Chain A
Amino acid sequence: MSRDVLVVGGGDPSAALATELSGDVLVKAPEPAEVDDGFVDGLVRDDGTPVDGLDLVVHALYPDRSRIPTPIGEMTTDDWAAACDDPLEAAIRVARGAHRHLAARSGTMVVCVPLVGAAGAANLVALSALAEGLRVLARSLARSWGSDGIRAHAVTLHPSMFLSPEHTAAAVDATALHDAALGRLPSAAEVAAVIDALADSRTAGGLTGASLVMDGGTWMAG
C-alpha cells in the first residue's frame, strides 16, 4: 500500500519538501484564517477520493506576512494576527483534524519550523513566536498521542528555507548564526529523507517528541 502524505503549507519549505517526500503526497496551502477543525476531513485528492487515513502529515504553513521582517513597534494588531496568531491556530486545528487519520495508520506528524524561533531574530518576533509555539506543539502532540500510536516531531530548518535571500541575510545577521559546520546547508532532498525516516516505524518507531535541527551545523545549542 502506498504511503499517504499530507503537506500543509505554500511556498518553501513545503513546496520543496513535497517534491522530495516518498509516497502519495497531497499538498494543501490554505489561508490560515480559513482552517477549521474539519479541514483535514474535507480534503479530497486529485482523483476525487476523500482522504481517509494518513501515514504522515508535514505541517509548514507560513503566510507571507510571517516572513517579512518588521520591527514590533511598526506592526499593527492585524499584522500580528496574520503573521502569528492565525497560522498558530491553523496548526492546532490541522492537528485536531489529523488525529483520527493518523491514528488509523499509526502515523507521524512532523512540524517544520525556522531556526529563528529557537535562536531568536530581531524584527522577526512574530515568526519566532510562531516557530517556538509549533515546536512545543509537536512535543505536546507526542506526549498525548503516543498512546494512540502516533508519533510527532519538530524539524528545525535554516531561515533560508523560509525567507527570501535578502531577508535570510538579515535574519542570519540578526540571529548571529555561525557559518554551517558542514560548509553548506542541507538540501530539500536531505531534509525530506530525514522526515521520511522519522515517519518509518522500522527506523524511528521508538522515537517521538524529537526536536531535530537540520541546518548544516550553524546552531548547536542544547
Chain B
Amino acid sequence: MKNELPVGIGLMLFSAALTAVGQALWKASGLSFSQGLQSWQLYAGFFCYGMGAVVMTLAFRFGSFSVLHPILSMGYVFSIFIGVLALHESVTVQGIIGDVIIILGAVFLGISERGYRESDDGKQEEGAEA
C-alpha cells in the first residue's frame, strides 16, 4: 500500500503559500476598509485565498484532517519571507526562532502517522447526510 501523505503535505505547503500571499495582499490593500475595497490587492488577495482553499481540499484526499490542516501554519513561515521581501518589514531573532519551532511542529505532524495504516483516509460515508 503506497503512502500518499507526502502528496498531501506538498499540496498543503502550496496552499499555505497561497494563503500567506493572499493575506499579505490584504495587508497591502490599505489601512481603512473603504480604501481597501477600491484596491486590486483586496481582490487579488481573495483570489489567492480561494485557490488556497481549492488546493487544501485536494490535499485532504491524501491524509487525515488532524495531520494536514495544521500544516497550513507553514504559512506563518512564508509570511515572514513575504513581510521581509515585499512589505519591507524587519525580521527579528524571535521571528526566526518562532519559524524554526513551527517547522519542527510541521515535521512532528508529518511523522505522526508513520507505520499507522488504519486512519480514516479512504473511509467513505456513502449514503450519509449531505
A and B form one complex? no
Residues of B participating in the A interface, judged by any CB pair closer than 8 Å: none
Where the two chains meet, the residues of A that have a C-beta atom closer than 8 Å to any C-beta of B are none
